[in-house]
Amino acid sequence: MLRTDSESVTSVLLQIFAFWGLPQKIVSDNGPPFNSNSYKQFCTFYDIVLAYSPPCHPQSNSQAERSVQICKKALLKICSSNQNVASNQWPVLISKFLLAYLNTPSTVTGKSPNQLLLSYSPRTLISNLHPKVESPVTATLPFKDGDSVNLKIGNSPILNGIVIRSLSPTRYHVSVAGIYKKVHLNQMSYAP
């Protein structure tokens, strides 16, 4: 951030909240923007609990301190190995570092930061080395080939059919008296 006054901080926080939603709690140091009345009013308005680390005690904020240490080491390595890089290439180098860092599993949790934040593992070059035998979409289909189903298509009476195959997670080929029909998941129910 170019400025670290409380208005600038709350503006950036609003951008983050717009995408990720409101947090329940914010842990921060005792810097001026976090002690201001406008920041406290902002957090009160959005029902966010404020927690402060003790002054002059960086160990209390160990997760943030560790992340800063990792980023500093990475930036030093990037700088030392890319001394003659054009200024427009720095965002690319930093993005490559973040792609690797945010998708590397932690030894404590066994999950990457992105996996914890997003509730799924984003696709990376390493994940491409181990393709899944069964795609997650086909693993969770509600109807399987050979299932007996009842169909309700428009105003016609209920028809009995057998699932031939899935066309997508929501569309199926169903055989009704030897005639194939393409039907949507909403038009099907299990036959007794």
Residue-range domains of the chain with CATH: 1-52 (3.30.420.10), 61-131 (no CATH), 138-190 (2.30.30.140)
Position with higher pLDDT, 46 vs 90: 46
* Tokens at 104, concatenated: 């590397």
Torsion angles phi and psi, residue 137, rounded to 5: -70, -50
pTM for the complete prediction? Answer: 0.51
What residues have CB less than 8 Å from 158, skipping those under 6 apart? 150, 151, 152
Question: Is the per-residue pLDDT at 58 higher than 70?
Answer: no
Question: Is the per-residue pLDDT at 151 higher than 50?
Answer: yes
User: Is residue 56 very low, low, confident or very high in pLDDT (cuts 50, 70, 90)?
Assistant: low
* Tokens at 83, concatenated: 């001394």
Residue-wise pLDDT tens digits, 113-122? 888 888 888 8
Question: Is the per-residue pLDDT at 40 higher than 80?
Answer: yes
Position 59 scores a pLDDT of: 67
Position 83 scores a pLDDT of: 72
Give the separation between CA 168 and CA 140, rounded to whole angstroms.
11
Residue 140's identity, in one-letter code, is T
**% of the chain at pLDDT higher than 70:** 91
Give the separation between CA 35 and CA 159, rounded to whole angstroms.
67
Position with higher pLDDT, 150 vs 169: 150
Question: Is the per-residue pLDDT at 48 higher than 80?
Answer: yes
